[in-house]
Amino acid sequence: MSKTTIHINGRPYHVACDDGQEDSLIHLGRYMDKQAKKLVGAVGQISEPLLLVMMGLMISDELSDVRSELKKLKSMAGLNENAENAENESIDLINSISERIEAISERLENI
């Protein structure tokens, strides 16, 4: 188990993490600090608990938007997949009909 320090709104927070996760945690801490600075810039200095709640709400809102976009993209990919499957089935059907027409044509030539 490792420990690292992140800084949010000028305050240090000592956080435990799994070995090897320090860089990731520092990156996340920087992101949170950036969000804190945005909030403080917009509303002024507020109490730490309120700041953390508002940051949590902002980040949750971002996550919700990303999830919605991902859902749309997955839906579009599903539609594309269905269209591709329909196209492949159509090609198979056309090939089958073409083979049957050729077989009939050959039989007619032999009459």
CA–CA separation, 21 vs 92, rounded Å?
51
DSSP 49-81: HHHHHHHHHHHHHHHHHHHHHHHHHHHHHHHHH
CA–CA separation, 11 vs 7, rounded Å?
5
What backbone phi and psi angles, to 5 degrees, belong to 44?
A: 85, 175
Q: What is the pLDDT of residues 25-38, one digit of tens each?
A: 999 999 999 999 99
Residue extents of the structural domains in the chain: 2-109
CA–CA separation, 100 vs 106, rounded Å?
10
pTM strictly above 0.75: no
How sure is the predictor about 94, in pLDDT bands with cuts at 50, 70 and 90?
A: confident
Q: What is the pLDDT of residues 46-91, one digit of tens each?
A: 998 999 899 999 999 999 999 888 888 888 777 666 777 777 888 8
